[in-house]
Amino acid sequence: MNRYPRWKYLLLIVVLSVGAIYSLPNLFGDDPAVQVSSARGFELDPGISAVVEQTAADTGVELKAIDLTAERLLARVRGSEAQLKLADALRDQLGDAYVVALNLAPATPAWLRVLSARPMVLGLDLQGGVHFLMQVDMDTARVQQNERFVDDIRNLLRDERIRYRSVRAESGAIVAELRTEEDRQTALAEIGSQIPELELESFDSSETFDIRARVRPEVITELQRTALEQNITTLRNRVNELGVAEPAIQQQGSDRIVVQLPGVQDTAEAKRILGATATLEYRAVDEQNDPYEAARTGRVPPQSKLYTDRQGNPILLSRRMIASGDNLTSAAAGFDQQSGSPNVSVTLDAIGARRMLEFTNENVGNRMAVVFIEQRPVTREVDGEQVRESRRVEEVISVAVVREPFGRQFQTTGLDSARGASQLALLLRAGALAAPMEIIEERTVGPSLGADNIEQGFNSVIIGFCLVLVLMLVYYKVFGLVANMALTVNVVMIFALLSMIGATLTLPGIAGIVLTVGMAVDANVLIFERIKEEMRLGNSPLASIRAGYEKAFSTIADANVTTLIAALVLFMFGTGPVKGFAVTLSLGIVTSMFTAIFGTRAVVHLIYGRRKRVQSLSI
């Protein structure tokens, strides 16, 4: 009677242990840590660990551990005093190329980290921080794109010596007015072959023969995609300036970007930095004069300006600019088809292309440099008062020899690695013209409110949980105790699953857990009531148990599936915190099915199943 197969017990034990292991990391708290990452979003050089170790030894800070990934290095220390000391020392040591931030590293023991068990991430409403939603102004981006095409068409007509009356952007299209039908036919052919991004149609006005050009839809989609990507890249670079430990920058929808900065309090500063501007300039290298001499004597030739390249060598660049970031349409890292070595292919707009062609025609064999220019906001102290101003930072990011004349499209080759290529492409894009952005949503939670939210959230979980435990125990006695065990396991499993999928715990997420605690016992209530009913019908206790579980199952499944539908809809339509609620609610439904049906049955069987005769049930 009531035989319960061994594999079910095994499965239960496996699930229980997995649940226990993966929820464990949440109990260990955090170590104070110093985080080092590249200011430009590059991958870290493995050698950085040695530098950090040396700096720690020099300042007398004892390191607990160093965790190094491609993006960041986390040096754990003992106590916040050591943390501040090490951070200051590292800032001096590493300079502008790196961002040094204070962070908390989960103090998960090594044996758990081996199993990649990690604690839940707390949402901004629990740990404090600021959330921005930025709208990318695609209309302006499209207008700018149309204007670039107007330039392209003008240049093309001029180059091909086709006389035109006007070329202008007009209500989302580009209109070219030509004087004769013959001119129009040539223009159509030329534009069609040279600028494939445009769809062309002819129409006649009273005096002129006109062409209307529209940007192809797929080109517009591509523009939106790259504009968004460029803006995200630019934002990443800016956010790095803030020294935020774990910023999150993500696309939302087709034209929005979410920026989350945990721990940031000064939102004014954050807004200023996010709104900072960057650009880049292509300049000729001054090959006539010796840069080392100029650096040593300080006498710089009047037509040149002294820069330092990334290796720290001086370099003289012409004051005349060839092209700027405004002219750059795209930059992508790739591989050279002939040599297979990494390269970056760059596309310029019409104006940039013309200037580039003029320059490269005369300068084959000479070098050309790219300067990255950024307006960085800085806070200075003047007469005891803080003055905010922006500082112009210029950096030479690439120097290359012109092999042959080129214009609109060209490649920078001879880069040392694929990483170097992607870094250069990233910087070029960061300085390129992207669509303007605007903050359309801001949510800031102060650290005191965050702490209150955690406390209140967990208090309500614990109090609600205990109330349910007491009620179940009083009402269902031994069976209530079994249900309580299942409920406890259920909560542990929710925490384990949330930790495993790397979900972010928010206040509504906690509310979801609380609600799950209340509703999770439903399955057991259904089963227990059914058992009571079967007993009243005069069935034997063991038969009643079996019938109770079997008959209640379809009811439980139906009821839970419908609740799951509501939770899934919430997940699809919800944003941010509401999504968190939906996630915990859905997980809770699934785990409660497992623990309340599978789990309790195993325990009930352990209690009653082995006895030969059961006279009554404690239910």
Q: Within 445-474, which residues bind another protein (CB under 8 A)?
A: 445-446, 448-449, 452-453, 456-457, 459-460, 463-465, 467-468, 471-472, 474
Taking CB under 8 A as the binding criterion, the range among 172-180, 221-229, 405-413, 441-449 that sits at the site for another protein is: 441-449
Total number of residues that touch another protein (CB under 8 A)? 85
- Tokens linked to 238: 């800016």
Q: Closer to another protein by CB, 417 or 562: give it.
A: 562
Among the listed residues 585, 593, 602, 603, the single contact to another protein using CB under 8 A = 585
Residue with Cβ nearer another protein (125 or 395): 125
Nearer to another protein, 178 or 249 (CB): 249
Alpha-carbon radius of gyration of the chain: 33
CB of 124 to another protein, least distance (A): 11
Give least dist CB 313 to another protein, A. Answer: 42
Per CB under 8 A, which region of 225-233, 390-398, 566-574, 603-611 contacts another protein?
Answer: 566-574
Contacts 24+ apart (CB under 8 A), 576-580: 576/131, 576/506, 577/123, 577/125, 577/506, 577/507, 577/508, 577/509, 578/508, 580/123, 580/503, 580/504, 580/505, 580/506, 580/508, 580/509, 580/512
CA torsion sign for 538, 541, 545, 546 is negative
State which H helix or E strand residue 272 sits in: helix 267-274
Nearer to another protein, 262 or 457 (CB): 457
Residue (531 or 604) nearer to another protein, CB? 531
CA distances from residue 560 to 348, 486, 516, 571, 608 in whole angstroms, order as listed: 58, 17, 11, 16, 28
To another protein, the closest distance from the beta carbon of 362 in angstroms equals 47
Question: How far is CA 553 from each of CA 12, 492, 559, rounded to the nearest angstrom?
Answer: 18, 23, 10
| DSSP β-bridge partners for residue 30 | 106
Three-state secondary structure readout of 283-341: EEECCCCCHHHHHHHCCCCCCEEEEECCCCCEEEEEEEEEEEHHHEEEEEEEECCCCCC
Considering only residues 89 through 128, tell me which ones interact with another protein, judged by CB under 8 A.
125
Determine the distance from the C-alpha atom of residue 88 to the mean position of all C-alpha atoms in its chain, rounded to a whole number.
27
Nearer to another protein, 180 or 459 (CB): 459
Contact between 397 and 373 (Cβ < 8 Å): no
Binding flag, residue 566, another protein (CB under 8 A): yes
CA distance 318 to 329: 23
**Least Å distance between CB 514 and another protein?**
5
Told to check if 436 binds another protein by CB under 8 A, we report: no
CB 475 to another protein: min, Å:
6
Which one of residues 18, 570, 590, 614 is an interface residue with another protein (CB under 8 A)?
570
Integer Cα distance of 615 and 74 in angstroms: 63
User: What's the closest the beta carbon of residue 480 comes to another protein, in angstroms?
Assistant: 9
Asked if residue 411 lies in contact with residue 346, where contact means CB atoms within 8 angstroms, the answer is yes
Of 551, 598, 607, 614, the one binding another protein by CB under 8 A = 551
For another protein, the closer of residues 133 and 157 by Cβ is: 133
Q: Which of residues 133-192 bind another protein (CB under 8 A)?
A: 133, 135
**Which phi and psi (to 5°) does residue 426 adopt?**
-60, -45
Give the SS3 label for residue 197.
coil
Part in contact with another protein (CB under 8 A); list of ranges 46-54, 95-103, 321-329, 524-532: 524-532
- The first and second tokens of residue 166, run together, are 């006007």
Comparison of 320 and 477: residue with beta carbon closer to another protein:
477
65/561 with CB nearer another protein: 561
262 lies in the site for another protein, by CB under 8 A: no
* H-assigned helices in 72-212: 80-94, 110-114, 124-127, 138-159, 181-194
CA quadruple 182, 186, 187, 188: dihedral sign: positive
Gap between the Cα atoms of 160 and 345, Å rounded: 27
Binder among 169, 425, 521, 583 for another protein (CB under 8 A): 521
Tell the smallest beta-carbon distance from residue 6 to another protein (Å): 23
Residue (273 or 294) nearer to another protein, CB: 273
